[in-house]
Chain A
Amino acid sequence: KAGVTQTPRYLIKTRGQQVTLSCSPISGHRSVSWYQQTPGQGLQFLFEYFSETQRNKGNFPGRFSGRQFSNSRSEMNVSTLELGDSALYLCASALESVNYGYTFGSGTRLTVV
């Protein structure tokens, strides 16, 4: 079966711009989570959506937002980009919750210049 698909794979943006990243979960998975991965901070939880509702949120500023559609596809948006937002953004999906074990996508590499 198809895995978690993230688009685009690579993105270069300029400071102050905004960006939208997309994630298509495994068919049947209703939980979609987003993580930021950087060399300094490691893997940090951004937010989780379940059945179109944000169920959990990490400690990130309001510039980071997301949403989930009725087909479970999810997008995350970062507004007013800063250099420190350069990271690998990973999407993960699960049947119901984290205890089932997440399946991660390959990520979107965002570079802010």
Chain B
Amino acid sequence: GDSVTQMEGPVTLSEEAFLTINCTYTATGYPSLFWYVQYPGEGLQLLLKATKADDKGSNKGFEATYRKETTSFHLEKGSVQVSDSAVYFCALSSNQAGTALIFGKGTTLSVSS
């Protein structure tokens, strides 16, 4: 079945460092891809999305490009801040999953000043 694999965390960075969180997927057809972020004690917030190959989603300095050839959707940010500390989830929706989102396990990011 469809699945999402994220890099294991935690990821620990200093402020202003470059961030990459890897995400690869397995799905038939052409899934839509998402990144969600969860801050402590809160629900998930949609960070960005891409619905077709080569689309780039971007928001708040974060970017991810839908790469069908490598089945990847890596999250990047050029300069992280302490306030970016959170858990990041990669997710997909597909014809097989119907109206459900399939999530990766999540990657914890900790940024220190």
Contacts and interface: CB of A to CB of B under 8 A. Distances in A.
Interface of A: 4, 6, 31, 33, 35, 42-43, 45, 48, 50, 55-56, 58, 90, 92, 97-99, 101-107
Interface string B28-61: 0000101010000111111001010000000000
A74 to B, nearest CB: 14
Query: Most chain-B CB neighbours within 10 Å: which of A6, A31, A58, A104?
Result: A104
Contacts of B32: 98-99
Interface of B: 32, 34, 36, 41-46, 49, 51, 89, 91, 93, 97-106
B99 A104 contact: no
Contacts of B105: 42
Contact of B42 (A42, A97, A103, A106): A106
A103 to B, nearest CB: 7
B49 A101 contact: yes
Contacts of A97: 99
Nearest to B91: A43
Nearest to B104: A42
Contacts of A35: 101
Nearest to B43: A104
B44 to A, nearest CB: 4
B99 A55 contact: yes
**Residue from B36, B43, B51 whose CB has the most chain A CB atoms within 10 Å:** B43
Contacts of B104: 42
A104 B100 contact: no
B42 A101 contact: no
Contacts of B106: 42-43
